[in-house]
């Protein structure tokens, strides 16, 4: 199992983001991912940085981490612009960029900022067109395309990607799973839908499975009750996995037995570098040896 740090670029400086990214890299994390919103969900008054700019900055300040987003909202990005951004970041990072993309889950982004289409069914159709355009442009060949949302005439972009830019798509709906099967290298399954994993897996094709998990890590000497109280206060509507290093090894080991190959770990203390270092020693290390 590999671990990526999920670190929303919210309420923290770029220096703080870099410090956590470097700590994650040193601790054995394979990647880092942020979020993509026009305003932070349920935290609109807080500061937040744009996703692709943040990815670029973190790639420039790390050596090995894969960078990406969980996930970019398709409706915010014209596919020709996104294709160019992705290839630029792919080359700049030496092939360390992954494209996480979805059709948008936070209604406030659409109603508040006038982004469309607002209807979920139309957003799924737009995402399919975007994926088709991205793949066509990444080929380096001339592209003509006529869809309901995107139109290209004699469009061509070079250079092509360094290798293959991996695509991450999340969700368990039938239309989303069709896109996962056709386009995704990674299928991100909501932890609230893990009961659907075995039933939905055939529809996801050959995509590898990842999850996002809120982690309340009880480090050596930490007060378990204090950790539980803090996570309940900060994340009122989410259920974390709470545990010591050995308890988390058992938890993630069971997930690995279910065929889950990647965890986007979202730490309840906002990824303090000391927490990441201890998690690397107590959790990532033992699971890697296993």
pLDDT tens track, the chain, 290 positions: 999 999 999 999 999 999 999 999 999 999 999 999 999 988 888 999 999 999 999 999 999 999 999 999 999 999 999 999 999 999 999 999 999 999 998 888 998 999 989 899 999 999 999 999 999 999 999 999 999 999 999 999 999 999 999 999 999 999 999 999 999 999 999 999 999 999 999 999 999 999 999 999 999 999 999 999 999 999 988 999 999 999 999 999 999 999 999 999 999 999 999 999 999 999 999 999 87
Domains of the chain: 2-206 (3.20.20.30)
Q: What is the pLDDT of residue 148?
A: 98
Residue 32's pLDDT is: 98
**Which residues lie below 8 Å from residue 191, measured CB to CB, with a gap of 6+?**
211, 212, 213
Residue 42 has φ and ψ, to the nearest 5°, of: 60, 15
**What pLDDT is recorded for position 106?**
85
Determine the pLDDT at residue 237. 86
**For position 211, what pLDDT does the model report?**
98
Helix (H) or strand (E) holding 215, with range, is strand 208-217
**Distance between CA atoms of 154 and 269, rounded to whole angstroms?**
50
Separation between Cα atoms, residue 189 and residue 199, nearest integer Å: 12
CA distance 14 to 274: 18
- What radius of gyration do the chain's Cα atoms show? 19
Distance CA 59, CA 76 (A): 22
Contact (Cβ atoms closer than 8 angstroms) between residue 172 and residue 196: yes
Query: What integer pLDDT is reported at residue 42 of this predicted model?
Result: 81
In this structure, the dihedral spanned by the alpha carbons of residues 87, 70, 260 and 237, taken in order and rounded to 10 degrees, is: 180
Number of CB atoms found within 10 A of residue 187's CB? 27
Q: 121 with 92: CB under 8 angstroms?
A: no
Specify the 3-state DSSP secondary structure of 160: coil
How many Å apart are CA 141 and CA 15, to the nearest integer? 40
**DSSP-H helix ranges across 139-243:** 174-183, 197-200, 224-234
**The pLDDT of residue 55:** 98
* 229, 69, 282, 64: CA torsion to nearest 10: -150
Q: How far apart are CA 184 and CA 99, in angstroms?
A: 10
């Amino acid at each position: 199992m590999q671990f990526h740090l999920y670190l929303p670029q919210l309420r923290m400086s770029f220096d703080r983001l870099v410090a956590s990214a470097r700590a994650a890299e040193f601790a054995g994390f394979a990647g880092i991912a942020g979020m993509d919103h026009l305003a932070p969900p349920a935290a609109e008054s807080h500061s937040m940085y744009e996703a692709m700019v943040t990815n670029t900055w973190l790639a420039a300040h790390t050596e090995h981490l894969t960078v990406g987003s969980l996930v970019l909202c398709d409706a915010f990005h014209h596919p020709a612009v996104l294709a160019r951004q992705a290839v630029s970041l792919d080359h700049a990072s030496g092939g360390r960029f992954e494209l996480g993309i979805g059709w948008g889950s936070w209604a406030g982004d659409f109603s508040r900022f006038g982004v469309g289409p607002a209807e979920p069914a139309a957003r799924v159709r737009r995402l399919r067109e975007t994926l088709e355009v991205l793949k066509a442009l990444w080929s380096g060949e001339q592209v003509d395309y006529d869809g309901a949302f995107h139109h290209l005439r004699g469009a061509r972009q070079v250079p092509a990607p360094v290798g293959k830019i991996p695509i991450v798509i999340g969700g368990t709906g039938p239309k989303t799973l069709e896109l996962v099967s056709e386009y995704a290298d990674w299928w991100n399954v909501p932890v609230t839908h893990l009961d659907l994993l075995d039933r939905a897996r055939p529809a996801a094709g050959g995509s590898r499975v990842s999850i996002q998990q809120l982690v309340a890590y009880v480090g050596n000497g930490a007060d378990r009750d204090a950790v539980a109280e803090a996570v309940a206060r900060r994340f009122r509507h989410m259920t974390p996995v709470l545990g010591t290093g050995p308890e988390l090894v058992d938890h993630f080991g069971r997930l690995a037995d279910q065929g889950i190959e990647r965890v986007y770990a979202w730490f309840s203390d906002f990824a303090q570098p000391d927490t990441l270092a201890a998690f690397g020693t107590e959790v990532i290390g033992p699971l890697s040896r296993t």
